[in-house]
A = this chain, B = another copy of it.
Amino acid sequence: MPIPAPNLYPPFNILRLSHVEYRVTDLARARAFWVDTLGLQVTAEEPGRLYLRAMEERGHHCVTLVEAAEPSVGVLGFKVFDEGELDKAAAWFARQGLPVEWVESPFITRAFRTRDPFGIPLEFYARMERLAPIHQKYALYRGVKPLRIDHFNMFASDVDASVAFYNQIGFRVTEYTEDAESGRCWAAWMHRKGGVHDVAFTNGRGPRLHHTAFWVPTPLNIIDLLDLMATTGYVANIERGPGRHGISNAFFLYIRDPDGHRIEIYCSDYQTVDPDLEPIRWDLKDPQRQTLWGAPAPRSWFEEGSVFEGAELVASALTAQPIVAP
């Protein structure tokens, strides 16, 4: 059993994943995709930068699109419980010998940036500007009707090491894939906010961002998005699905933005609030872990991902041929 016991008394209290900064090469083209097609709402615009939120979010943004020469991921953001927890977090990262830099992050009171030991750029904060609710402004809903950002999924060159690190800071494993032969963990799903995951790690050349997921109300919204993308010039941006993951039980669709950033549209996972929730183990050889219904994923889905700004890529410790669970 490669999964560490959950750390129920972590050094600081992370509430949930919060936001991601994507570097895109053509902001107008990205906007047509993220706003007009997916249906995220623009909350602020600056030259070269767009802030977006989903329909039930009151925090100022869950996605920032920044125009850049090359596509990449700038940072992954997490919200902690309060300013005291934020200071504890900064102190903890410093104690690990990881970089801690207090930054001006727009619309955020106080934030610091650091990197996990594998190079993933992280931003922590306690308070972001709050916006009025729009979840009942039904005239604004469009596209896939995204309700909220749900999780980050990352390629990790050593999943056991990533799980051990994120377990230390309080993320709890809900499901994982184990290679029965080596006893190594091939993929893991870990949560803070009481769903199946805030972060997941998947064996492969890393660190890279495999995808960011958005939660939608029902499978029919995903079908609506497929019909819309298929008839508005985005058919090649549909990568995988719709389908049901064995792991997490999610009804999923994977799409790619115009720069290749992968997005999961997602519904129907389950509540995990209990600290005594037993992780569900899947065997690497069980094909239903990836797709309950049995349809294979395309090769691109296993191999491609978004690089993190400033992170050095390392080959997987486990295999030259990445085998990835969703």
Q: Which residues of A contact B (CB under 8 A)?
A: 8, 15-16, 56, 58-59, 79, 81-82, 127, 130, 133, 135-139, 147-148, 193-194, 217-220, 223-224, 226-232, 235-236, 238, 242, 244, 246, 249, 251, 268, 270-271, 273-278, 280, 288, 292-295
Q: Is the CB of B81 within 8 A of A275?
A: yes
Q: How many copies does the complex hold?
A: 4
Q: Is the CB of B127 within 8 A of A276?
A: yes
Q: How far is the CB of A176 from chain B (nearest CB, A)?
A: 14
**18 contacting pairs across A/B (C-beta < 8 A):** A8-B81, A58-B278, A127-B276, A136-B246, A136-B292, A138-B231, A193-B271, A218-B220, A223-B244, A226-B293, A227-B293, A230-B244, A230-B294, A235-B293, A235-B294, A236-B294, A238-B293, A238-B294
Which residues of B lie under 8 Å from residue A229 when comparing CB positions? 293
Which residues of B lie under 8 Å from residue A223 when comparing CB positions? 219, 244, 251
Additional A-B contact list (20), CB under 8 Å, known A193-B271, A235-B294:
A15-B273, A58-B274, A58-B277, A79-B274, A127-B276, A136-B227, A136-B249, A137-B231, A138-B228, A148-B271, A193-B194, A218-B219, A218-B220, A219-B220, A227-B244, A227-B293, A230-B244, A230-B288, A235-B292, A238-B294
Q: Is the CB of B81 within 8 A of A194?
A: no
